[in-house]
C-alpha cells in the first residue's frame, strides 16, 4: 500500500519550476510570453498528454458556470487547459507540495490565477465543503490511492447532486507481474493499480451511477509508439517534456509502461459516473 510521504517524495523534483523555466527559455520564450499550449508537453503527466485531456474532458460537457475539481492535479496542466477552453473555474488538490507550488507559478505565467487554484492535500480527505463542485475529474491518479472506496465517498460528498465525475486512470486489465519502475511507482509497494471492476464497485457503493466505460489501450500503444519514434529521431531532449518531471529514469519508466500495456496487464481506462440529482 502506498505511503503518503513516500509518494510525495517519489514525485518531488527539487528544482522543478527552475527546470521548466529553463525549458521555456530554450523555446525562445519567457514566463511573460509563454502560453498554455507551450506548457502541455511538461504539465500533462498522463498517457496521451493534451490530446487525451481534451478527448476526456469533452465528455463532461464543462460550461463557464461550472466549478470543477481536478483530483491529483499535479502541475495543473489539465486545470489550465480546462479553464482556457471551457471558461470554467477549476480547483485542484494534490499530495505533492512542489507540484502545487509550481502549478501556482505556471498559472501566474499564463494569467489564469483568477480561474485556477490548487491546494496541497489528500484526495480521500479534502477540506472542501459538501456539494462544492459541479464536476470533478482525475487523470492517472488512482494508481497511487489504495482506498478507492474512501476516494469515491469523498468525491461523492464534494459533488453537487447531478454532478459528474470523470476518471482516466491506468487500470489492471490482465494477469501478470508488472515491470517496475513506472511513472507513478518505483516499486510494487508504491502502486495501487485497481481493475475497472474495483473502481466501479467503489463508485457504486458511494452512490454514483457509472454511465460510461472505455478501454484506451490501442490509443495508448499508438501514442507511446510515436513517443518512442520521436525520441529515437531527436537530437537531445526537447525543451519541455515529461523527462523534466520524471528525471533521468524517464525512458525506463515509459518503456516499462509500454511493455506492461503491450502485454495487456494494464491499460488506461475512462470511466464516467454521475451523482443522482
pLDDT at 120: 96
In the predicted model, residues of the chain with pLDDT beneath 50 are none
* Domain ranges within the chain, ordered by starting residue: 4-274
Q: What's the pLDDT score for residue 194?
A: 98
SS3 259: helix
Domain 4-274 is in which class? alpha beta
Contact between 74 and 101 under an 8 Å Cβ cutoff? The reply is: no
What is the number of H-type helices and E-type strands within the chain?
A: 11, 7
pLDDT in tens, 36-46: 999 999 999 99
- The per-residue pLDDT for 5 is 65
All three cell numbers of 91? 480547483
Please list the residues that pair with 167 across neighbouring strands.
138, 271
Instruction: Tell me, yes or no, if the pTM score tops 0.75.
Output: yes
The CA radius of gyration of the chain, in Å to the nearest whole number, is 18
Is the bond preceding 103 in cis, omega lying within 30 degrees of 0?
no
Amino acid at each position: 500500500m502506498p505511503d503518503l510521504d513516500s509518494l510525495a517524495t517519489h514525485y518531488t523534483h527539487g528544482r522543478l519550476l527552475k527546470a521548466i523555466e529553463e525549458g521555456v527559455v530554450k523555446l525562445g520564450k519567457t514566463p511573460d510570453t509563454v502560453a498554455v499550449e507551450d506548457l502541455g508537453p511538461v504539465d500533462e503527466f498522463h498517457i496521451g498528454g493534451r490530446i487525451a485531456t481534451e478527448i476526456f474532458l469533452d465528455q463532461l460537457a464543462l460550461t463557464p458556470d461550472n466549478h470543477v475539481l481536478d483530483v491529483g492535479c499535479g502541475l495543473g496542466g489539465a486545470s489550465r487547459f480546462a479553464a482556457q477552453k471551457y471558461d470554467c473555474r477549476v480547483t485542484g488538490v494534490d499530495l505533492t507540495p512542489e507540484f502545487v507550488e509550481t502549478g501556482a507559478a505556471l498559472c501566474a505565467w499564463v494569467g489564469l490565477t483568477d480561474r485556477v487554484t490548487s491546494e496541497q492535500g489528500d484526495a480521500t480527505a479534502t477540506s472542501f465543503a459538501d456539494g462544492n463542485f459541479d464536476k470533478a475529474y482525475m487523470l492517472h491518479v488512482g494508481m497511487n490511492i489504495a482506498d478507492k472506496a474512501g476516494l469515491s465517498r469523498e468525491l461523492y460528498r464534494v459533488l453537487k447532486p447531478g454532478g459528474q465525475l470523470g476518471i482516466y486512470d491506468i487500470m489492471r486489465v490482465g494477469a501478470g507481474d508488472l515491470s517496475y519502475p513506472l511513472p507513478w511507482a518505483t516499486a510494487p509497494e508504491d502502486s495501487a493499480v485497481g481493475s475497472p471492476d474495483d473502481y466501479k464497485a467503489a463508485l457504486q457503493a458511494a452512490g454514483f451511477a457509472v454511465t460510461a466505460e472505455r478501454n484506451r489501450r490501442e490509443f495508448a500503444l499508438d501514442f507511446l509508439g510515436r513517443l518512442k519514434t520521436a525520441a529515437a529521431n531527436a537530437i537531445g531532449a526537447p525543451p519541455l517534456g515529461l523527462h523534466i518531471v520524471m528525471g533521468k529514469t524517464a525512458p525506463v519508466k515509459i518503456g516499462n509502461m509500454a511493455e506492461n500495456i503491450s502485454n495487456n496487464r494494464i491499460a488506461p481506462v475512462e470511466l464516467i459516473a454521475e451523482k443522482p440529482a
